[in-house]
Amino acid sequence: MLRERLRERLGAGVRRLDALHGGCIGQVYRAELEDGQRVVVKVDDSPDPRLDVEAYMLRYLAEHSDLPVPGVLFAAPDLLIMSYIPGDSRLGREEQAHAAELLAALHGVRADRFGLERDTLIGGLPQPNPWRDSWLAFFAEQRLGYMAREAERAGRLPTALRQRVERLAAALPRWLQEPAHPSLIHGDMWTTNILARNGRITGFLDPAIYYADPEVELAFSTLFGTFGEPFFRRYQELRPLQPGFFEERRDLYNVYPLLVHVRLFGGSYVASVDQTLRRFGF
C-alpha cells in the first residue's frame, strides 16, 4: 500500500524501503526509487494524523530563513514525503560552530509579535501560538501554564506540581526581561534533529517553530547535551548573550521542554521539574 502511494505521488516505483529511527510521530522510512532518487517518508496511522503540520513548518523555515531543512515533496495528514539529507548526528567542534552560525542567522529573522500565524506541534503534541505583544506573558501562559495543564490532564503531573509551575510562571519578571524583538526559532533543538557531515551541518529536522526569545532555543540545546562550549563561543561572537543566561535563565526556560517530556513520558522528568521549581523557591 505504501509503495503504491509513493509511486502515485512520485512517479517512480520503490526499489528499497528501510526503516529509520527518530521522530515522535508514526513510522519513518528511507526509500530508494527506481530512478535512483532517495527520499524520506513519514507515515502516521493514528486516529488524528498531523504530518501536514510538520510539512507547514518545514516550508515556513525554507521560505523565511536559510536554515537547511528537508524539502517537502508531498504532504497529507497521514503521509509526508521529504528530500533525503545525508549525514548523522555526531556533532564535533566544527559542526557545533557551524550550527551556531546557522542558528544565529535564524534568530535574526524577526516578527512584530510573539507566536505564529497558526498552532504547531512539538514531539507530536499541540503547541498553541496565539500572537502576543509580551514574551513573558506568552511564555508563562502558552508554554509553562499550557503544558503543565496538559501533563496534569494526562495523569503525569501531580496537581500540586502544576500549581507550583503556575506560581513560577507568574513570577518570571523576577528573572526574565522582554527581548529586543521576537526571533524565529526551530523550537526542538536536540541532537537527533540535527544532521552533519564533514564538519558542516547538512540539515535540521522535526521543527516546532514560532517567534520567541531565542534564549529558549539555546537553553533547550543544553538540556540533553546537544551543544557545548564550541557552539556558544561562536554564537556569542555573532549574537552576544546578556549575563545570567547560564546561571539562571537557562534553567527557567528548560522548564518548558521538561514539561513536554513529562507530558510524553512522565517518570524522572517529574523530579527534574520539581528540582527546578525548588531551586527558584517554588
The active-site residue out of 44, 188, 206, 213 is 188
Between CA 49 and CA 215 the distance in angstroms is 31
Q: Among this protein's residues, is 88 annotated catalytic?
A: no
At 197 the three-state DSSP class reads strand
What single string gives the DSSP state of each residue in 184-203? Answer: EE-S--SGGGEEEETTEEEE
Grid cell, residue 184, equals 524565529
CA separation for the pair 268, 279 (Å, rounded): 17
State the Cα–Cα distance between residues 261 and 270, nearest whole angstrom.
9
Q: What is the largest CA-CA distance in the chain?
A: 61
d(CA 48, CA 218): 31
Helix (H) or strand (E) holding 40: strand 38-43
User: Which amino acids are annotated catalytic?
Assistant: 188
